[in-house]
Amino acid sequence: MLKKIKCPACQVEGTMSLVELDYIGPYRCWKCRALFTVEIKNDELVSYKYLSEEELKKQQELRETQNKYKKDD
Ligand SMILES: [Zn+2]
């Protein structure tokens, strides 16, 4: 499912593919390259906050670690 998200920085609409109606995670604007952590609930963007490249990297590493543990189960 494709979800339209309006960039809070430049107001340009972008799309992102979502598996579920609820999502919390990184979104990068294709236009201004701004990074956000967005929270979507029931298909609505309810909150967002700016995210730095460093934080994004940390989140991705954390997710990889969690996936690793899941596989071991
Ligand atoms: Zn933007």
Q: Which residues surround ligand 1, an ion (CB under 5 A)?
A: 7, 9-10, 29, 31-32, 34
Max CA distance (Å), the chain: 43
Q: Is the pLDDT of residue 68 over 90?
A: no
Q: What are phi and psi of 67, to 5 degrees?
A: -60, -40
Per-residue pLDDT tens digits for 27-66:
999 999 999 999 999 888 999 999 999 999 998 999 899 9
3-state secondary structure 32-51: CCCEEEEEEECCEEEEEEEC
Distances from the Cα of 20 to the Cα of 12, 40, 41, 63, 68, angstroms: 23, 10, 9, 18, 22
Q: What is the distance in A from the centroid of ligand 1 to the CA of 60?
A: 21
pLDDT of residue 70: 77
